[in-house]
Amino acid sequence: MCYRILIVDDEETLCEALKFNLEEEGYEVDTAYNSEQVLTMDTSRYDLMLLDIMMGDISGTQLAKIIRSNPATAATPIIFCTAKDSEDDMVKGLELGADDYITTPYSLRNVLARVKTVLRRMNSGARPSRSPEDAVSFQGLQILPSKKVCLVDGEEIKLPKKEFEILLKLVRNIGRVFSREEILKDIWPDEVVVVDRVVDVNVTRIRQKIGKYGKHIKSRSGYGYGFMN
């Protein structure tokens, strides 16, 4: 399969360098030098987008929100490549639904490796497909995977990316208990060191945010977590 990639960056030289190296790896690559140009394109044809953050009137984060709000591109993988390297910037980018966040200066080799990892994850089914998806529901708890939206009795609640993915995994598999190791492997597939405690912390936050439905997330001592009727 030949993947199509869109690079969006106002530095033309960088765009062309990335384009050349990605094409050498066998990808089909297009470039755009600002967000406004992207909005005139058929973005649904791309399998992955590389976005700069600091661009003109419409920033990369604003463009990502637009991409995520469009059902045709809501599940398209996004990688931010940017000089904005503070922890707050990174968290904001990931909470927008970005699949990776690369800060400059970076090597082309690193970018190629990250692209390959994200596409492999998408192809393995570790993230939702690009086709429209039905809501995943339990009573008044509703999760819309393609829109990255969670509703509790009709009211939207904000969940960071990892919390959203954990809740979706549990509610999609009501009655099944997942070990912490299984959750770590699925939700944090590329991190080298992530301790079990991270799962516990995220589950605690989810329980608090989804109100009365939090009681349905059960822990099984020595095993892990499951969403129970």
DSSP state, residue 134: P
> What's the whole-model pTM score?
0.55
Strand partners, 7: 31, 50
pLDDT value at position 130? Answer: 39
Q: How far apart are CA 117 and CA 82, in angstroms?
A: 19
Closest CA to 166 of 190, 152, 186, 189: 186
15-70, pLDDT tens digit by residue?
999 999 999 999 999 999 999 999 999 898 899 999 988 887 888 888 888 888 88
- pLDDT higher than 80, residue 151: yes
Strand ranges, E, within the chain? 4-8, 28-32, 48-51, 78-82, 100-103, 136-138, 141-144, 149-152, 155-157, 177-179, 217-220, 224-227
Q: How far apart are CA 150 and CA 225, in angstroms?
A: 19
Pairwise pLDDT comparison (199 vs 96), residue with the higher score: 199
Average pLDDT over residues 76-91: 74
